[in-house]
Amino acid sequence: MINIKVSKEEISTTQIIALNQFEAAFIDNLKALLSQTQYANLKVLPTFELNDRGKFPAPVKINHNATFAIPNSLELVDNITTFVKRYDELEIILPSQTLLITLQIREIMDTEKKNPQSNSKNDSDALPTFTPQEPRFTFSEVVLPENIIKRIMADLAVIEKQDLIYNQWGFKEVDKVPRSVLNFYGKPGTGKTMCAHAIAAEVKKPLLALNYSEIESKYVGDAPKNLKHAFDTAKKIGAVLFFDEADSFLGKRIQNVTQGAEQALNSLRSQMLILLEEYEGIVIFATNLVSNFDKAFESRILDSIELPLPDRVGRAKLLKKMTPSKLPLSRKISDNEFLEVSDIIDGLSGREIKNAMLKMLLSKAENPRHQFSIEDYKEAMKAKMDELAALRAEENRILEEKILKAVKEKGAMAKAEKEANLNDETTTIDLNT
């Protein structure tokens, strides 16, 4: 449970519910991480404490005892930090507080480790359950440049005509398996997941959405088996398969394998190649790191599409679309006024704009009779830009400190080496005399 160290008057019921949801998601993510082979030696006790923002510039601060002395602990903290950074809602639900997360990490002693006999074959053979979902978005809700939408629709038309092209016209003689794999790449929050849902809605199929942690297993060698089970499940129910954070699956295979975990990752990627070659349904990948893809996967992908950050007109469309029909306005906001607000938020993604909109609504929730105006929009968007600027400044400050520390350490080592060389020279002279 989160220990709340601020006045109950300063935190609403909505915030408490949202914090409890975050805590549950955090624990689920931590369990998924600890189930991975490389972290099997670690035990983690997380605690959560909500404080006044005070000196902390960000809504979350993570304290931990990870060191090189605890194998894999620093890497684990990096993965946990990545999860927290992606949980955008925290920026909204904690406008003036900081959630302090403390991680007590220790290595599991030999006496605590389970007897290998207890990891029975039955446990290892148990396959995870993958549950499809109804698509949550359609293309009417997706705001992207017209040429991107047309390109996606053209790809879907090609997939729809596969029977004509491959079977009736015989292209199967040249290309044994039709290519039905799409890849979306771009910065976070640009609509990759929304497009996956919209495609599933367009082809009237359920969506089976998965990420690496759902496929990875604590048993070495089980991840490829889990991946095959995911493809089998999608085939059985006729679902569109969607893999988020696709670089984990499609990344370059490791050439000089030194650990069992690296071998397991190579096996998973090889299995993905085989399954894509055999699978005739639609598969969608999404990633922020397309440059990490192994070249072998490129021939399996029908189209790889970059989803850009919204331009001026795109941001205005998003602001208009994200304005609820029931929102009480002092007067109707014109398209030109939305463009004025758009000019304030140059460089923001759709997700960041949505978060800023939600924060604007939360800021006025204490007064249900409030009439929203264009000035409320401008104020909320400026606040979002200031918040992001402060976060970037803090990140730069931390980076500069790390660089300065490294330079100082390098300088100290060079000085010590120089002094050691001088001492050696002095000793040599003394011996000759």
Q: Has residue 108 got a pLDDT over 50?
A: yes
Residue 54 has pLDDT above 80, yes or no: no
Q: Is 126's pLDDT higher than 70?
A: no
pLDDT above 90 (res 315): yes
Average pLDDT for 338-352: 95
Tell me how far apart the alpha carbons of residues 388 and 394 are, in angstroms, rounded to a whole number: 10
pLDDT value at position 431? 35
* Mean pLDDT, residues 249-270 taken together: 70
* 227 and 275 Cβ atoms separated by less than 8 Å: yes
Query: What per-residue confidence (pLDDT) applies to 106?
Result: 87
Euclidean distance between the first and final Cα of the chain, in Å? 74
What separation in angstroms does the CA of 363 have from each of 92, 108, 112, 267, 310?
10, 46, 49, 50, 25
- With 60 as the cut, is the pLDDT of residue 259 above it? no
Is pLDDT at 56 greater than 80 in this prediction? Answer: no
Q: Minimum mean pLDDT among 292-306, 336-350, 410-424: which range?
A: 410-424
pLDDT at 338: 96
What pLDDT does residue 257 have? 55
Q: What is the pLDDT of residue 124?
A: 44
Q: What is the pLDDT of residue 381?
A: 96
Residue 202: its pLDDT value, please?
94
**pLDDT given at position 427:** 41
- For residues 12 and 119, give the distance between their C-alpha atoms in angstroms, rounded to a whole number: 46
- Residue 177: the pLDDT is 73
Distance, CA of 195 to CA of 199 (rounded, Å): 6
Mean pLDDT in residue range 331-360: 95
- Residue 271 CB neighbours (<10 A): 19
Residue whose token pair is 């002094």: 419
> pLDDT tens across 158-198, in order?
898 888 988 899 888 887 777 889 999 999 899 999 999 99
Token readout for 349 is: 């993604």
